[in-house]
Structure formats: structure tokens, C-alpha cells
Amino acid sequence: MNTLAAPNTFAGGGLDRHSETRRDASWVAAQWARPGARVLTMRGGDPAMDGGRLALAPVNLAPLPESEAPGPAPGGQNGMPLFLGFDATGPVFAVEARENGPGAFADLRSVAGALTPAEASMAATARALFGWHARHGFCPSCGASTSVTDAGWKRSCPSCGADHFPRTDPVVIMLALHGERCLLGRNASWPEGRYSALAGFLEPGESVEDACARELKEESGLTAMRVRYHSSQPWPLSPLGGQLMIGLFAEVGDDRAQADGTELSDVRWLTRKDASAALAGTHPEVTAPPAMAIAHQLIRAWLEE
Amino acid sequence: MNTLAAPNTFAGGGLDRHSETRRDASWVAAQWARPGARVLTMRGGDPAMDGGRLALAPVNLAPLPESEAPGPAPGGQNGMPLFLGFDATGPVFAVEARENGPGAFADLRSVAGALTPAEASMAATARALFGWHARHGFCPSCGASTSVTDAGWKRSCPSCGADHFPRTDPVVIMLALHGERCLLGRNASWPEGRYSALAGFLEPGESVEDACARELKEESGLTAMRVRYHSSQPWPLSPLGGQLMIGLFAEVGDDRAQADGTELSDVRWLTRKDASAALAGTHPEVTAPPAMAIAHQLIRAWLEE
């Protein structure tokens, strides 16, 4: 699965982000002032909705950005509108609503699967960026309060001069394969019967393949013999911050898998028939991850191989 | 190229990092005290060397960790030894030398290609971690000074309680392909004649494929029709911090490439013959990236397809 038309939720939105041009504040201001400019309001990481679609309000109906309120809020996003990019219609910005502000907001996890790729991409980007701002108000190099620049895509430290860019953590997520079976695992904290692909954060000094082999060994005791990339997915829903899910198949040398007892409370080999039933929701014991999760797409792709 | 035996420098070191167990300070102390424990000294990101090999000194000959000096150094790595993991021989730690401390250190970029995969992995991991500590002494959430925990793999904030983990930035690097030619570009700041694959940071809300398409469009005007993953590489040499290089092939719809004039000053299509000469160092105008760069491996893999 190596095309641009990935089935992964949040991927393939096709926004034109103007990553270079958005550094120019006067260009950004001109986009904000365009008649067709629209704005997405987010609250606590969830998007404003209108009739099942993302509510993209004309900028002239949008609440005034808080940057017009006196003084920047130290450590916050400063209320500056975030430039998301151009969709097929024109420029789109995002702003954050106050915690108890009015509006109809929907849990992004619940609605993402029903959004268009462009909508899902906008909401994912806004959630990842606002979450990063909320956790990165201070300069990690010197401890001073930083301020937002580059239309929401950078924080600058007025004290030591350091620039800080949004953080995205790479995560490897792998479907271990042995013969005609795939391995799923479950965390004790998950709802009963829920199983998914094994996963973990990539660490400094590791390639994708290294991280896959390490996580597989740590969590299940299995040795990866061959790692194949399948696809990737931006994942804005973790409370730890924005992640890049890197979806892999890992062929392993034997089937002696054992849950580590810390990350995983159980691991389980599924035949193609079992996996198919789990995806369809008809397996008596195993619930597969939902279609919006890349783990679901990995299982589906393996079944279709 | 999807095996674990990647030719990419810094990848495939095979260290057993004990990512779970290293959180236990008494376990880590027991490894430090083992007769076979060794320590790598780094200075400014460069490893201590001994006769062309990484100098892995017995712990009992290593300088005392600075953590035994009175009080932690705010904002620094606190001198606590970093647990790298087990190689085939036993546990390996890394410590940082004082700026003008004694010892024979080698520029990591210059020597990495001659190290074994395990040695390169140790040096890359130590450089990425120490660099992260140097830039992350303060809590980005509240501005307080943080301290090192988990054998060097975490910083904790005594003020707000936030935990911070080492940062690795995903970077997409792509060889654009059209018919029997590949595209290389050059930055005006590079040595004359040096060309490489196009590359850029992945942004929040993007998949690998999205980021590849955006960077290609921004830097060269080309439209990616199909993106194929090749391999990945941990890259500790950027002054911006540890990166994960994600190497890709991008088939494009036409050959009307144009350098953006900001990131790139020139782009150039190379036939297989040209590319082969560039790799061999015999092209009259184009110098290819060195073998330690994933761009080199992408070109080589394309030639061998």
C-alpha cells in the first residue's frame, strides 16, 4: 500500500499549507482578510460541527482572535489564528474557543471517520498544533515564556533567541505475521476483548526497522526477521501529543509469543478467518480496532494480500 | 529494501536497550557495577576513539560521573551516565566529557562510516540524547528546571510534574523519479557541485506520503503520483536535534521541475548513467552525497532496481 490515496483517517487531506509563505505575517494577514477565508473553531481539541460537517465559518462571522485582547497569554497559544492552508475553496484558519465558550463541538475521535479527508486533516492539524502550544509555552532551553510566530507554526524565545517547532513523535505499529496467522495484543486497561497491533515510540538512534524489532521483542518476545512498511497516519488523539503512526508488517521466526505483562496483558495469534471475523465484529472473543485506526487497516491489508 | 539488514549508517546496531527495565534505578546501578560494564565518553557530540574503534572503557577506569559532584547542574544532563544498552559483550553507558577535558575524540560525521553498526548506533544514540538534554533543561509546560531520570531517557519536572521524553523529528527524503531519470537538488550553501535528494520536516497532521508530496511540490513544483517507502535512518548529526530520515521514491507526473529559489538553488534530472557516475565520483558536474547519507542509498537502490 504505497499510493497517496491511503485509506488512513487523517491522511491524504490535500491541504496546501504554504509552509514557506506562511512565515510572512503580512501575507497571512492578507489571507485572513480575503472574502472567502474561513475559520474552524476548536475547543479542547474538538472541532465545531454543523450538520455533521466541520463548521468552517466565514472569517467575518468568527469571534475576534484573542490576540486583539490586551497582551499575550504567557504559555498559551496567544489566540493568534493558526493558518491551516488552502482547501479546494480557499484559505482556512483555526482558532481556539474559551473552555466554556458557546458552540456545538464534537469529540474528534467519534466523528473523524465520517469527515472528508480534507476536514479530518484540518481538525487533526489544529488539534495537534493547539495541543503542542498548550504544552510548550516555555522555552526548554532557558525556561523563559515564548511567543507564537509564523501563523501558529513556531514559538520563539525572546530571552535566548531559540526557535521551537511543533513536535511529532514517530510511533511504530506492527502486525507480526507467522505463516497464515497474525498477532494481536491487548492492554489490561482496554475494554474487554479489544485487541490491536503492537506499537511503541521510536527512540533516538533507531531506524523504523530497529524500533519495530525492539518493540516486538520487548512486548511479545518475538524476533522480527523481515519488516515491511505498509502506510502511515498522522494521529492527533494521544494526550501525549501529535504522533506519526508508521504501519508495518513484521515477519517473525517462530510463534512463541508471550505478553510482557507490563505493556500487554495478553497476546493472541489469529488465523485469517479469526481476523476477518474480528474486523466484521462477529468474533466471539476478539474485538478489532475501529476502521479509523491504522491497526485495522494493517489487518485488512494482510487479509487482502 | 525492507529487511532489517539496512545498509544505512547508524541503523541496525542491534543494541538491547532494555527500554522497560532501565526505568529501575537500582537495576541500572547494578549494570554500572558489573565487571564487564563499559562506558563511552562523548565530547560535544563526538565519541572518544581508540585506534580507529570506539573507545569503550571499563567503567572502573572511567572518570567519575559528574552526578557525584555536589548538586545537579540546572538545565544540563546532570552528569548522570546514560544507559545505552547491551551489545554482544555486556552493558554500555555513555557520559559527557567537560568541554576541554582530555581524550582523543573524533568528528562523528567523519568516522561514522568506518564504525561497526553497533558502534555507530551507540554513538548516534549518545549524541542524540546528550544534544536533547542540552536543549531541554527546562520544562516547556511551566518553565521550571527539570532533572534527568530513567538512566538518561527522561526529564521530569519537579514543579508541575510533567514528564518529557527525548524528541526525534521525522524528516521525509525523497528521490523523485520520472521515466529513466531521478531528480536531485542543491542548496546554494553547499559545496560546489553537491546535489542530493529533496527533503523536509514532516508536519503535524501529515502522513509520510502527505509530507513527501508537499515538500516535492514546494521545492520543485512537481506532483507526486505515487510514493514508495525504501528505508529509514536515525540521523544524529543535525544541529537541530535527532532526526528520523524516512527514505522514499516518488514517481512524478511530469519533468517540469523548478527550484524554489529558497530551499533549493537548482534542481537537476540525472539519467542512470549520470547518477552512476555521480555515485562513483566521476561525474564532471555533480557530486552525490556520501555513502553514509540515506540519499546515497536511495540513488544506489534506484540504479539497482
Q: What is the pLDDT of residue A72?
A: 36
Question: Are residues A125 and B203, on separate chains, in Cβ contact within 8 Å?
Answer: yes
Within 13 A of B173's CA, how many CA atoms are on the CB side? 26
Residue B75 pLDDT exceeds 50: no
pLDDT in tens, chain A (305 residues): 445 655 799 999 999 999 999 999 999 999 999 999 999 999 999 999 999 999 999 997 665 554 433 333 433 445 679 999 999 999 999 999 877 777 799 999 999 999 999 999 999 999 999 999 999 999 999 999 999 999 999 999 999 999 999 999 999 999 999 999 999 999 999 999 999 999 999 999 999 999 999 999 999 999 999 999 999 999 999 999 999 999 999 999 999 999 999 889 999 999 999 999 999 999 999 999 999 999 999 999 999 98
CA–CA min distance B89, chain A (Å): 18
ipTM > 0.90 for the complex: yes
B234 contacts in chain A (CB < 8 Å):
204-207, 210
How many Å apart are CA B229 and CA B226, to the nearest integer? 10
Interface mutation target, options A15, A146, A232, chain B, most CBs of B under 10 Å? A232
Nearest alpha carbon to residue B93 among B147, B158, B143, B28:
B28
Cβ(B76)–Cβ(B137) below 8 Å: yes
How many Å apart are CA A65 and CA A87, to the nearest integer? 21
Question: Are residues B2 and A229, on separate chains, in Cβ contact within 8 Å?
Answer: yes
Q: How is residue A50 written as a grid cell?
A: 454543523
Quick: pLDDT tens for B98-108.
777 777 999 99
* Secondary structure letter of residue B151 according to DSSP: G
Domains and CATH numbers, chain A: 21-135 (3.90.79), 169-304 (3.90.79.10)
A144 at B interface, C-beta within 8 A: yes
How many Å apart are CA A118 and CA A185, to the nearest integer? 32
Residue B163 pLDDT exceeds 70: yes
A33 at B interface, C-beta within 8 A: no
Our CA angle for A180, A183, A186, nearest 5°, is 155
Using a pLDDT cut of 70, give the percent of chain B over it. 91
SS3 for B26-54, per residue? Answer: HHHHHHHCCCCCEEEEEECCEEEEECCEE
CB within 8 Å of B103: residues ≥ 6 apart: B41, B43, B48, B55, B97
- Picking from A6, A166, A205, the nearest residue to B125 by CB comes out as A205
CB within 8 Å of A295: residues ≥ 6 apart: A173, A175, A196, A197, A199, A247, A288, A289
CA nearest to A118 within chain B: B205
How many Å apart are CA B167 and CA B136, to the nearest integer? 10
Burial class (CB in 10 A: 0-12, 13-18, 19+), B122: buried
Strand partners, A171: A201, A245
CB within 8 Å of B46: residues ≥ 6 apart: B105, B106, B107, B108, B127
CA–CA min distance B232, chain A (Å): 5
Interface mutation target, options B17, B141, B145, B209, chain A, most CBs of A under 10 Å? B209
CA–CA min distance B135, chain A (Å): 5
User: Mean pLDDT for chain B?
Assistant: 91
User: What are the two backbone dihedrals, phi and then psi, of residue A79, each rounded to the nearest 5 degrees?
Assistant: 75, 0
Concatenated DSSP letters for B177-225? EETTEEEEEE-TTSPTTB-B-EEEE--TT--HHHHHHHHHHHHH---EE
Strand partners, B3: A226
- Strands in A5-88 per DSSP E: 38-43, 46-47, 49-50, 53-54, 56-58, 82-86
Name the strand (E) or helix (H) holding A278: helix A272-280
How many Å apart are CA B100 and CA B3, to the nearest integer? 42
